[in-house]
Amino acid sequence: MNEAIQEVTDGTATRLISAGIQLFAERGYDGTTVRAVTRRAGANLGAITYHFGTKDEFYEAVVTEVVDPSREFLASAVGTEGSPLDRIERFVRGVFEYLRLRPEFPRLVMQHFAGARPLPDAFRRVIQANARTLLGLIEQGQRDGSIRSGDPRLMTPSIISQPMYITLARQIIQEGLGIDYGDPDAWAGLVDAVVDFVRAGLASQQEGTS
């Protein structure tokens, strides 16, 4: 039933997805039961089977609901105009913004990778789309001399990991460094610092001295 997941327009299905997002983000796959989801959604115990099929297919639907929109969001943020470094900067800022708008995204990621389940298709699609975008921009920058030499496949994870880590390490950074994520100015400064760090790490000597 995975390829034919019903559109989440039915009220019960919508409530199930919402409850699933909350619980999978809080407890992970193994710590979340079908009974807990249906109880939180105010639905009967058979509702997940009726609307989505198995627990695995329901989990895939939940992850898809949270993760899939990020592809279009980041593609729009990156755009088609500007230098490779400028577009990579917009990518990094876009990731920060999406994670701010969808705080359950990093929690789902953390819970998923804390376990040993296969990668959901939605995660795979987003990872592959982001990798293609960044690989293309790095290669373009290397051709025009604005980005330093190196293997783009090894440079790409460093770019993606910066906003993800900063978001996931919120408690560590707030308590260890005294940076208040709730302060808009402090948050903007943190994002700017990450962007500067990424740009400095990618820029060629020619770009850095221009």
Q: What is the pLDDT of residues 50-60, one digit of tens each?
A: 999 999 999 99
Confidence of residue 203 (pLDDT cuts 50, 70, 90): very high
Q: Residue range 78-107: average pLDDT?
A: 94
The distance from CA 201 to its chain's CA centroid, rounded to whole angstroms, is: 22
Q: What pTM was computed for the model?
A: 0.86
Encode pLDDT of 142-156 as tens digits: 999 999 999 999 999
Does the pLDDT value for residue 3 go beyond 80? no
pLDDT computed for residue 10 by the predictor: 64
d(CA 25, CA 32): 9
Q: Residue range 37-44: average pLDDT?
A: 95
Encode pLDDT of 169-179 as tens digits: 888 999 999 99
Q: What's the Rg (C-alpha) of the chain?
A: 20
d(CA 156, CA 99): 19
d(CA 172, CA 7): 39
Confidence of residue 24 (pLDDT cuts 50, 70, 90): very high
Q: Percentage of the chain with pLDDT > 70? A: 93
Confidence of residue 5 (pLDDT cuts 50, 70, 90): very low
Q: What is the residue type of 68?
A: D
> What letter would DSSP give residue 3?
G
Which neighbouring-strand residues pair with 203?
Answer: 147
Summarize the chain as % helix, strand, coil (round to 5). Answer: 75, 0, 25
d(CA 197, CA 111): 28
- By mean pLDDT, which of 14-23, 35-44, 156-165 is the weakest? 156-165
Q: Residue range 78-103: average pLDDT?
A: 95
> What letter would DSSP give residue 120?
P
Query: How far apart, in Å, are the Cα atoms of 67 and each of 14, 62, 91?
Result: 16, 9, 16
